């Protein structure tokens, strides 16, 4: 009788253990079955990309997939990030590349792992500089956004009663990045159409796309052309425009003699608009980084789970944000 009882107890324990093991395996399988994607950005410390990755994570929580947020500041970092994603079982990723010419190398690594790829903000290009086909892209139309910047500057010049012939333009450039060229070209074209003198536009080539790099680029240009009383400033983003504005302050220019208009609509602009006294940073053409993050993350998820390939190229537009309306625009765009 005691032997029978012991055997029964043993089999019961084995059965319970098997059930627990099966349950654990089931849970692990469910976790393994959960879709995982990557979101790689070139400047993870910048407000635009922080907001973009956060928005991607939020839509993942809503729809039931995981988002692995990674930085890819150069080509090697991007390839390492892709290897990392593969080791975690990711089936695709969204990327804003540090250099758009890395597209072929990035796609080669992604295809080795069978990963789907969407570019956001900056689009891959081929060796000849043409947009790379076969990789869905979501971003703003650089030229059209640039035109909005130029028109905003021209309108504010008119409101202040400035004579275009007596105004200098600081064009902070980054000719290595096609998106930057499109934006500054668009702004230049709009300014020229408004009656601005082409000979009054001075280039300040920057090495990077941040405030300190723009400050370093702008300072010598301002020093060389100190005979101008009024200045306008434009660049590929608001961080760069802020660098130019800081340079004008260093040279003792008053805020009312400077009109700087950036692009993005991020924490850098919010901080500037929140200052007690206005600065030369007049405004920025705000684009929803929240929308960019949410849309691309959802697109790649649908592509993985439902085989719905996103459109080849989706372009978003911007809204002029100034000290007077920035809080309303921020709420409207979900920034």
The pLDDT score that the predictor gives to residue 273 is 96
CATH architecture of 142-286: 3-Layer(aba) Sandwich (3.40)
Adjacency order of strands within the sheet including 319-322: 201-205, 167-173, 230-234, 258-264, 281-286, 319-322
The pLDDT score that the predictor gives to residue 47 is 82
Question: Is residue 268 very low, low, confident or very high in pLDDT (cuts 50, 70, 90)?
Answer: confident
1 has pLDDT over 60: no
Higher pLDDT, 172 or 27: 172
The pLDDT score that the predictor gives to residue 17 is 42
Q: pLDDT > 90: what percent of the chain?
A: 78
Q: What is the pLDDT of residues 133-145, one digit of tens each?
A: 999 999 988 899 9
Mean pLDDT, to the nearest integer, of 1-26?
A: 37
- Mean pLDDT over the full length of the chain: 89
Listed in order, the ranges of the chain carrying CATH 3.40.50.2300 are 36-135+289-316, 142-286
The pLDDT score that the predictor gives to residue 218 is 97
CATH value of 36-135+289-316 in 3.60.15.10, 3.40.50.150, 3.40.50.2300, 3.20.20.140? 3.40.50.2300
Q: Two tokens at 137?
A: 């892209």
155 has pLDDT over 50: yes
The pLDDT score that the predictor gives to residue 31 is 43
Closest by Cα among 234, 240, 233 to 206: 240
The pLDDT score that the predictor gives to residue 33 is 67
8 has pLDDT over 60: no
Q: What is the pLDDT of residues 284-326, one digit of tens each?
A: 999 888 999 999 999 999 999 999 999 999 988 899 999 999 9
Mean pLDDT, to the nearest integer, of 240-252?
A: 96
Mean pLDDT, to the nearest integer, of 325-332?
A: 92
The pLDDT score that the predictor gives to residue 154 is 98
Supply the pTM of this predicted model. Answer: 0.70
Out of 121-130, 198-207, 234-243, pick the least confident. Answer: 121-130
Out of 6-10, 93-97, 295-299, pick the least confident. Answer: 6-10
22 has pLDDT over 60: no
81 has pLDDT over 70: yes
Name the one residue in this structure whose structure tokens are 């635009």: 48
Question: Is residue 25 very low, low, confident or very high in pLDDT (cuts 50, 70, 90)?
Answer: very low
What phi and psi, each to the nearest 5 degrees, are found at residue 118?
-125, 135
Buried b (16+ CB within 10 A) or exposed e, 34-57: ebbbbbbbbbbebbbbbbbbbbbb
Mean pLDDT, to the nearest integer, of 21-25?
A: 36
Q: What is the pLDDT of residues 228-244, one digit of tens each?
A: 999 999 999 999 999 99
The pLDDT score that the predictor gives to residue 14 is 35
């Amino acid at each position: 009788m005691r032997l029978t009882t012991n055997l029964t107890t043993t089999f019961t324990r084995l059965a319970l253990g098997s059930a627990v093991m099966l349950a654990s395996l089931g849970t692990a399988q469910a976790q393994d079955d959960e879709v995982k994607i990557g979101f790689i950005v070139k400047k993870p410390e910048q407000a635009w990309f922080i907001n973009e990755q956060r928005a991607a994570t939020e839509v993942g929580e809503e729809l039931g997939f995981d988002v692995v947020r990674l930085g890819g500041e150069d080509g090697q970092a991007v390839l390492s990030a892709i290897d990392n994603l593969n080791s975690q079982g990711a089936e695709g990723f969204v990327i804003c590349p540090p250099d758009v010419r890395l597209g072929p190398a990035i796609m080669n690594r992604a295809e080795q792992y069978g990963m789907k790829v969407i570019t956001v903000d900056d689009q891959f290009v081929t060796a000849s500089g043409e947009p790379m086909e076969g990789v869905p892209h979501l971003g703003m139309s650089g030229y059209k956004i640039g035109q909005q910047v130029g028109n905003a500057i021209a309108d504010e010049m008119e409101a202040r009663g400035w004579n275009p012939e007596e105004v200098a333009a600081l064009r902070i450039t980054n000719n290595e990045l096609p998106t930057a060229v499109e934006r500054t070209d668009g702004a230049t074209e709009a300014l020229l159409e408004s009656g601005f003198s082409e000979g009054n536009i001075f280039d300040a080539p920057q090495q990077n796309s941040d405030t300190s790099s723009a400050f370093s680029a702008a300072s010598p240009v301002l020093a060389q052309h100190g005979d101008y009383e009024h200045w306008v400033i434009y660049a590929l983003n608001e961080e760069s425009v802020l660098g130019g504005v800081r340079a004008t302050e260093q040279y003792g220019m008053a805020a009312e003699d400077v009109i700087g208009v950036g692009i993005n609509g991020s924490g850098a602009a919010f901080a500037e608009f929140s200052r007690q006294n206005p600065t030369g940073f007049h405004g920025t053409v705000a684009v929803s980084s929240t929308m960019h993050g949410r849309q691309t993350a959802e697109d790649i998820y649908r592509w993985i789970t439902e085989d719905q390939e996103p459109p080849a190229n989706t372009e978003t537009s911007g809204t002029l944000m100034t000290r007077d309306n920035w809080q309303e625009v921020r709420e409207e765009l979900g920034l």
